[in-house]
Chains A and B, each alone.
Chain A
Amino acid sequence: MLLLQLLVDGLQLGAIYALMAVGFAVIFGATRVFHYAHGTSYVIVGYLFYYLAERLHLAWWAAAAAASAAGVVFGVLLDRWMYRPIQRDEGSFFTVFVASFGIAVVAENVIVILFGASFVSISTPLTRANDIGGGIVISHLGILSMLIAVGLFTFLNWFLAKTDVGVALRALSENPELVRSFGLNPRKLSQYAFAIGSLLVAPAALVATCVTGLTPTAGHRVVLISIAASIIGGIGSLRGAGLGGLILGLAESLAVWKLSTGWSEAVAFVILFAFILARPSGLFGSKARV
């Protein structure tokens, strides 16, 4: 019974991690920008959702839509007004990373000023677990998060394979010059990547705000999970990042089956180290791609 419960918990957690990681992977895969502020998009969406739904009592769907839109706008503006000028001046990969990290720190402090440093969460009966038989419990939101993850991955695979923008985004990661020669604008495509990547982290932020709660520092962990999942799955691989997130969530949960509960999060990173040592390219990463 315990093992089955831990498996169910791990799938729910893995779905949230996968959503976090895939957004990061889309941006990194297409633009090669180490978007540390991806975690900030998560925190902005979460806090805005909390503010609109819990404090202003807006309808949950309207609050979720507005918060997700804010996350997308943040990502796109950051690309346009910060990353692009740095890249235009031939700033290195590391310069862009430091700028992104700086934005994350500033945004964290702004959120503390606006909302305080306290833990916030949204009270909803949807987070309360229900017995589905045999003493196994799962919440409605837990089921929903898994369905959202599956739905979004399916949509994203279709989008990247079948639409012009999707194909162009994949090409951008391989050869930006080739994209230009076809009359496409890499800058524009970069903005699409940021919009999609930021939008993908929104469901994770919305669900996590209700299920686990949120603090202004939560973004750092989102980035950590995203990087770990991307490395496990293969840098730049969308499928890999999703699967990597799922593996991390399952590992965190299943670890406590036989090990001390204190090992839960450590086990996930033991898996990461194992991948770095044994298969540095990750599960699907023979070379970088979206």
Chain B
Amino acid sequence: MKRVMLAAAAAALLLAAPAAAQNYHIGAVLPNSGPMTSFGELFRNGADLAAEHINSDKILSKPFSINHEDSQGAPQAAVTAMNKLVRVNQEPVVLTAMSGVSKAIAPIGDREKVVAINGGGVAPDLAKLGPYFFNVIPLVNYEVRALLPYLAKEKKVKRIALVYVEDPLGEAVQREISELAPKNGMELVGSFSLPSQSRQFAPIAAKVREVNPDAVYVAYYGQTMVALIKQMRDAGMDKLLVSYSAFNDPDMMALPAAEGSVYSSQKMDWASTDPVTARFVADFKKKYGKTPSFYNANYYNAVWVTGKAMASLEKKGQPITGETIRNELLAIKTFDAVGGKMEFQPDGTVSMPLQINELTGGGTKVLN
């Protein structure tokens, strides 16, 4: 019996030793292929830079890394990737993006007590998605509420049309504009929905031209939205195009047809002197050779606050699990992040200021 006990103790020690030496790691289910790939690259670049900063600052006692899995921008593939990260890799935190994908993986996070952090999806129902689901990006309903008064006041828009994707994001924008347009002295003169896999948009342009709006709100995303804008312009739709933060996409900025479009986004001042933002901007330019976008910043923030919460748990001598990280995020509540203070709300959203932008000369100009 004594020998068995000794053998068991030795085995436990052998098993425990590598476990103690294991690095800290979190997972990411981001679109690394498919029509959202250009966004996936933005998300990944920001997240990886934060991991580098966490390691170089030695805020944790062990090296920190991110295990990336490809969501392909599709809920089904994302669920498979999430199951692998949660059950095989035992990740306590998983980064997610896009509304449909985030809604698909959130129940797994809740069930397995794994924190999911979204920095790219903006459908309003991403709020209150569960106790383990956090957003580090303002949701689209807040963006619409900021943009419509600006359009009414500054651009004198009286008649607005909407082209939207048939998914939770598009339908949320449709509800929001239907409700808010009359309150801002506007008439919603037409709502045109399209499946997310549509490729031909000339007929939509004809329908939009027929209702003769002052501005067209486009609630779409990814490469399909780039194709939509190009085809609508080519088909003679020359009215003001307006949208939400998805217009902050390198492909969209490079598209001549999108020139002059107006869109809302979270506020981000790259010239800010606050230490977190200044360091992020400088190191991002050094690493990737370009100015960051706010999607880069969101995923940097998602990883950065995770590292801070883990460091706080280490300091308190508490175990690092999904449950303890969640509790620590809510306990700390306000973080110094890129763009300024970031404060988590009880419903899993963040409060952040917004800005109105214009696409011009292949870049973005802040209007308001």
| Chain A residues within 8 Å of B, Cβ to Cβ | 1-2, 5-6, 9-10, 12-13, 112, 116-119, 121, 123, 127-129, 131, 135, 137, 139, 211-213, 215, 217-218, 221, 252-253, 255-256, 260-262, 264-266
Contact = CB atoms under 8 A, between A and B. Distances in A.
B192 A213 contact: no
Nearest to A130: B236
Interface string B231-262: 10111100000000000001100001000000
A262 B195 contact: yes
A118 B193 contact: no
Interface of B: 33-35, 37-38, 166, 192-195, 197-200, 202-204, 206-207, 209-210, 223, 226-227, 230-231, 233-236, 250-251, 256
A266 B195 CA distance: 10
A191 B82 CA distance: 47
Nearest to B38: A118
Nearest to B252: A119
B227 A212 contact: yes
A283 B35 CA distance: 35
B37 A13 contact: no
Nearest to A253: B203
What secondary structure prevails in chain B residues at the interface with A? helix
Contact of A215 (B35, B198, B256): B35
A121 B206 CA distance: 21
Nearest to B226: A119
A120 B204 CA distance: 21
B202 A12 contact: yes
Contacts of A119: 223, 226-227, 251
Given A9-B206, A221-B199, 9 more contacts: A10-B203, A13-B200, A119-B223, A135-B209, A215-B35, A252-B203, A261-B193, A261-B194, A266-B195
Contact of B207 (A112, A213, A261): A261
A128 B234 contact: yes
B338 to A, nearest CB: 25
A265 B198 contact: yes
A248 to B, nearest CB: 10
Contact of B200 (A116, A135, A264): A264
Q: What are the 5 tightest A-B residue pairs by CB atom distance, in nearest-first order?
A: A117-B37, A119-B223, A137-B236, A129-B236, A9-B202
B112 to A, nearest CB: 31
Nearest to A2: B210
B233 to A, nearest CB: 8
B231 A217 contact: no
A252 B192 CA distance: 15
Contacts of A128: 233-234, 236
Contacts of B210: 1-2
A123 B33 contact: no
B309 to A, nearest CB: 33
B194 A212 contact: no
A123 to B, nearest CB: 6
